Amino acid sequence: MSRASARRSSRRRFPARRCSSTSSWSGPPWPCSGSGSSSGTRIALPLSSESAVEVAPGEVVGRGVGRRFKITLSTSRSLKETILRRELPRTRELWALQDVDLHVRPGEAFGIVGRNGSGKSTLLKLIAGIFAPTTGVLAVGGRVGSLIEIGAGFHPEFTGRENVYLNAAIYGLKRSYVDEHIGEILRFAELEAFADVAVRTYSSGMYMRLGFSVAMHINPDVLLLDEVLAVGDEAFQQKCYGAIADFKRAGGTIVFVSHDPGTVERICDRAILLEDGRVLEEGPAGEVVRSYHRRLVMGAEKPGAPRDSEGVERYRVHEVRAISG
C-alpha cells in the first residue's frame, strides 16, 4: 500500500496541543507521545479528552492558534541593582501569532510566506512541538521531521555519526534502523570523511547537510523546512530539492518557509501569507506569492515607508574608494 493510500484509510482522533495555564512552557523538540510509531502525534502539554481532533497521518489542523512571548524591556541592570530595588525588569507581551486557522492536507506541500517577523518560524516551531500554543488547538498526525535551525538537536561535542544516532533516538527510531541506514545518511550528506569528527568543527553548510539527511531518513509523515536550505552550496541545494520532490511524490506532507518566490511556487500546492502574526491570505501558492509581492511593492512606494529586508528596492554602486589608515 502506498504512503498516500495508507493515510486516506487511517484517519484517527489525535489529542491536540492546546493552550494551558502553563503556556510559557517551551519543551524539547521531540515527540512526547507516540514517538515510536509513524501514527503518533507530538504533544506539548497535558491534554483533555475535549481537545481531541481527528487528523490523518500527515495532516496538520490548527484552530485559533496563538502564541505569546514576554519580552524584557531593559537588560542593562545588574543582579545587584535588581535585588536592591526589589523589582524585576519591566516586560511586555508580544503576540507572535494570533487567531491562526490552518489546514494542511495529507500529501500536500504547503508554503508560508511573509515579511521577517511575521510569525513564520514561530508557526513552524508550534507544528514541530518546540513551542506550545498560548491559545487555540493544534493537531499534527504522524511523525514530524524538521529542519528549522542550523545545528538544532546536535550535540557539539558528539561526532557526526553519534549525532545521527542521537537524533534518531529523539525521533523514536530503533538503533537497528540507524545501523541499517547510517551509510546512506552520511552518503547523502556527503560527510563520510567527517563522520567521526566532532560537529563543533563543522561549517554551517555541513550542519545543514547532516540535518537535512537525518530529517529525510527518519520516514516522517510531515517535513518542516525553513530557510536553512539557503546555507548550502547550489549543487547540494538541487540535491535537496530533488529529495523533496521524491518525498512529495511518495505522499509526504511538506510545510515550507522561504523568501524565494520561485521555490515556493515550484514546490508548494497552497500557501498562506502571514503579516503581524495573522493570516492575511490563503490559496494556491502562485496567487499568494504574487499577492505578497504586491504588498511589498505598495509598501515600498509609500513616502517614508521602511524598506523590508527581503528587498524590493534596487541599489546602484556609483563609486568605490579605498581609504588607508
The domain locations on the chain are 3-143+219-298
Indicate the helix (H) or strand (E) that contains 263. helix 261-267
**Considering the domain 3-143+219-298 in this protein, what is its CATH number?**
3.40.50.300
Residue 101's SS3 state is strand
- Output the pLDDT for position 227: 78
* Calpha distance 14→54 (Å, rounded): 6
Write down the pLDDT at residue 53: 74
SS3 of 74, please? coil
Answer positive or negative: Cα dihedral of 151, 154, 156, 160: negative
Cell 527581503 belongs to 310
Cα separation of 166 and 168, whole Å?
A: 5
The continuous run of DSSP H or E covering 162 comes out as helix 160-170
Average pLDDT by stretches of 10, the chain with 325 residues = 50 50 33 36 39 84 94 68 66 91 96 93 93 94 86 89 93 91 96 96 92 91 86 84 93 91 90 96 95 84 51 47 54
Calpha distance 131→156 (Å, rounded): 23
Return the pLDDT at 20.
41
- Which one, of 227, 221, 194, lies nearest residue 210 by Cα? 194
Query: What angle separates helix 175-189 from helix 160-170, to the nearest 10 degrees?
Result: 130
Grid cell 481527528 in the structure block, residue: 54
Total residues found in the chain within this entry = 325
Specify the pLDDT at position 18: 53
pTM of the model: 0.73
User: What is the greatest pairwise CA distance in the chain?
Assistant: 72
What pLDDT is recorded for position 46?
34
Identify the CA nearest to 148 among candidates 120, 170, 168. Answer: 120
1 vs 4, 7, 36, 38, 301, CA distance in Å?
Answer: 8, 10, 21, 15, 54
274 - beta bridge partners? 114, 279
* 104 vs 197: CA distance, rounded Å: 39
Q: What is the pLDDT of residue 92?
A: 82
Residue 3's pLDDT is: 56
